[in-house]
Amino acid sequence: MSRRIIHDHNHDGIDRRGFLECMAWVGTGALCVLSGGVLKSYALSEAPQAAEALSGADFSFVQISDSHIGFNKAANPDVSATLQAAIDKINALPTRPSFVLHTGDITQLSKPEEFDTAAQILKNLKTDQIFYVPGEHDVLDQTGKLYRDRHGMNSQGDGWYSFNAKGAHFVGLVNVMNLKAGGLGYLGDEQLEWLEKDLAGVSNSTPIVAFAHIPLWSVYPEWGWGTDDSARALSYLKRFGSVTVLNGHIHQTMRKVEGNVTFHTAMSTAFPQAAPGTPNASPGPMAVPAGQLRDVLGVTSAQFARGQHALAVTDSTLSGASAAAMPMVSQTGGNR
Amino acid sequence: MKKVLLTAIALLFAAFPAYTALQAGGKPAAVGAKGEKVFTITIKDFMFSSSDLHVPVGSKVTWLNQDEEPHTVVEINRAFSSTALDTDEKFTYQFKRAGKYKFFCTLHPRMTGTITVEAR
């Protein structure tokens, strides 16, 4: 995947080809491997590479996102089945993930029965623990109480928290509350002050994984795909040698590297959304031809291994269709 | 000649309210049970069909969500606030005071609009 960036118009480390390559990951889940402070990701469909990455890893975890339990429209009439398929995929990994991160939009409409159904299905995950952050669909009551009653036990404020795992520091952030008219995702002063304090005691060499629902980088502000005050959060993360930012919300995989920070968004387990800026499209559920849905849904895995530089992050689709089998890839064919 | 002029003026007045409503992107007003004007703003593709609607005081405005995505309609100072509207759900508010009301979707805050309520 390594190659030179030829046309970096926006100085963001992404040229058109790179963008298309990123888009080729659409619909895969990802396996993240933290290896010596470096998070590496693999498509779950890249099983051999992922297995290799896992064998040298200190530990691994999986990210799932946007399960939208309760959604029942044309884009996916059975979101419970696709969430279960994602779980089956994770349970079949060669190495059992230490834990799973769910980056929000667990439910479609924040209904108690939707939270209950999601919890029932997610019980089938073979892992030690599931860590959550809310998506905007999980806080439709505008207070987030329903969400926090279930998943906010050890959290602060609207549901943010941190924890340490095997030498890495994880920060779960909430950027779907108190949104401002005309704005994007929002962290707010209280949470940012907490974050600054939380990180104060963490050494520069500790790998950091920050996760939140809405991207903490400007993916496509025209569709609300960014966070107003993420720059301040990222300023606190600058001094760390390895930072991985994991988000959901946009229902497709995208990746960007900016200095020591790797940004990664995961696929949904429920339905895809259009690529940013697609003409005549909006950031809502997108129906794909029958039989192709599981090519565009998936999970993300990450592996950590000591002595290496980044977390290995892998995306893989529910169908097992490799990224290479997807239409976007043909546009980058021969250049990879 | 005088008659023609009067007719023209009458036509102008008759046409004007409809014109302003259309100009603002809202549907021409219907009339409610108590004679109040009723406007509808549809929500489609993450947009309000009218983002700058002018209505006379006393009017009712109904927001109708035609997206597969839930949306809310909330005035920035919380003068009115809907719950989450799923597909085909609606929210109505009656404007009893003149003024400017800026509203947005709290889930997708890029979606904004203004209702200007004009004194009679």
Q: What is the predicted pLDDT for the residue at B47?
A: 96
Cβ within 8 Å of residue A30, ≥6 positions away:
A41, A42, A43, A44, A62, A63, A253, A264, A266, A267, A298, A299, A300, A301, A302, A313, A314, A315, A316
Q: Which pTM was predicted? A: 0.82
- Report how far apart, in Å, the C-alpha atoms of A287 and of each of A83, A179, A222, B114 are: 17, 28, 21, 32
Is A75 in CB contact (< 8 Å) with chain B?
yes
> Which tens digits make up the pLDDT trace of A90-105?
999 988 999 999 999 9
Q: Is A181 on the interface with B (CB under 8 A)?
A: yes
Which among A191, A302, A180, A303 has a CA at the least distance from the CA of A236?
A191
**Sheet arrangement for strand B112-118:** B52-56, B112-118, B99-104, B74-75
Q: Which amino acid is at A90?
A: I
Distance (Å, whole) CA B112 – CA B101? 11
A109 to B107: CB separation less than 8 angstroms, yes or no: no
For residue A101, the cross-strand partners are: A63, A131
Task: Share the mean pLDDT of chain A.
Answer: 84
Size of interface A-B (CB pairs under 8 A): 59
Q: Is the pLDDT of residue A53 over 70?
A: no
Residues of A in contact with B76 (CB under 8 A): 181
List the beta strands (DSSP E) in A20-91: 30-43, 59-64
Chain B interface includes A224 (CB < 8 A): yes
What are the pLDDT digits (tens) for A162-219? 999 988 999 999 999 999 999 999 999 999 999 999 999 999 999 999 999 999 999 9
Sorted by where each begins, the domain ranges of chain B are 2-118
Residue A66 CA: distances (Å) to CA of A134, A268, A291, B115: 10, 5, 20, 34
Task: Please tell me the distance in Å from A295's CA to the nearest CA on chain B.
Answer: 22
Contact of B66 with chain A, judged by CB distance below 8 Å, is answered with no
Q: Cβ of A265: how many Cβ atoms within 10 Å?
A: 32
Identify the architecture of domain B2-118 in CATH: Sandwich (2.60)
Domains of chain A: 21-320 (3.60.21.10)
pLDDT at B4: 53
Angle between helices A189-200 and A230-237 (to 10 degrees): 0
What residues are paired with B47 via a beta bridge? B44
ipTM value, please give it. 0.79
- Mean pLDDT in residue range A26-40: 54
